[in-house]
Structure 1
């Protein structure tokens, strides 16, 4: 497995920081998902590698849930690339190049603490309309409509989900945006399979249970709508799916958790 950023190998925590922190160096501190994710991949007591909670989710070694057939095959991690931290989101992302017995799989991991997953889509639309009303250039409305058409299936006549599906406006913008990026990444990589993982980073001293509970509810609300009710909620350590997206992409969903002091 190769860990790199834009082709430059990452072999230490310091190299990871140099690659992704940049102008957002004020974020580079314990408690920030970007910092904590880097430490999970590049711990001080062993060589860089896959964190145990992600290894468990991917069922490595010995198998994964992305292979057809009665016997699960091995899901191999070929490359990992952290994405530069941004100021517009408190999360951190990395891309993975995976391989299963049936071919390549694109991976997209979103590391998150206890901040909300952005505004609700209704709030994003309201902000965009206000910008347009002030003659400010904004393509946010078109972006949201495009993502909704691409990712969210229309209700199927005669099929009643076990739990009611929330409307677009009730969903969290960051989740919609991140899954859209994961789909785009799969298409760019020339594969029709993508795994999207929410990597929850929990610190007893820095994160609050009430906010984490709200995030779990928002994530499950989004997954229910994304899957048309077929996946009522994500369970930690389990890969769910696939969900068929526009363009022939099969989306798998997973959730992992890292506990810190």
Structure 2
């Protein structure tokens, strides 16, 4: 996936200013940046949920602005999204939330849809009885897993995760990192993960891209980030809340 010369703004405010970023097939890319730097805006622009003022977005070699509607629909099948707060439909059960994208895009019997939804529930480590619960009956960690199951509903080749461990306790966050890493290896998919969790970056990310001043200020391995002379990166990875600053 490639983002080239991307410009996104609201009114007179430019959020992404001629940003360039390449995402390599099969990698887990962690996207970091200060609050308001445009991490989530970038995700939404790639997904077509926010309009762009300029630039080019290519997914699997396809320019999303020039492909036909049918080709775009097929491209959407290859992308899964897990929003920060889950964004589950409150009026639907967990199973029906997972079945929702399947109903929209696949022509299958209800029985087969149920079987596929239960498989996704098992894949993300939820108990079978979670299937018939409503989102309001789930804990924070279970909500995250249910949202991940829905993101995996169409067996995507690339998955977008927006702050997947936000709000989880350290043990829950570590378990979720293990889950993402396991699914990435098992399903051979690409992961685009917006995060502020330094442990996640160390544990499962192949590369990290840092956004600042509307652009990618650095991209590379954790080792490259740690060796960077950029003041913000140095503070991010070596500050009191970074790993090397821990007691």
Tell whether the structures are fold-level matches, with TM greater than 0.5: no
Tell me the TM-score normalized by structure 1.
0.32
Q: Higher helix fraction: Structure 1 or Structure 2?
A: 2
Structure of higher RCO (CA pairs closer than 8 Å, 6+ residues apart): 2
Tell me the TM-score normalized by structure 2.
0.34
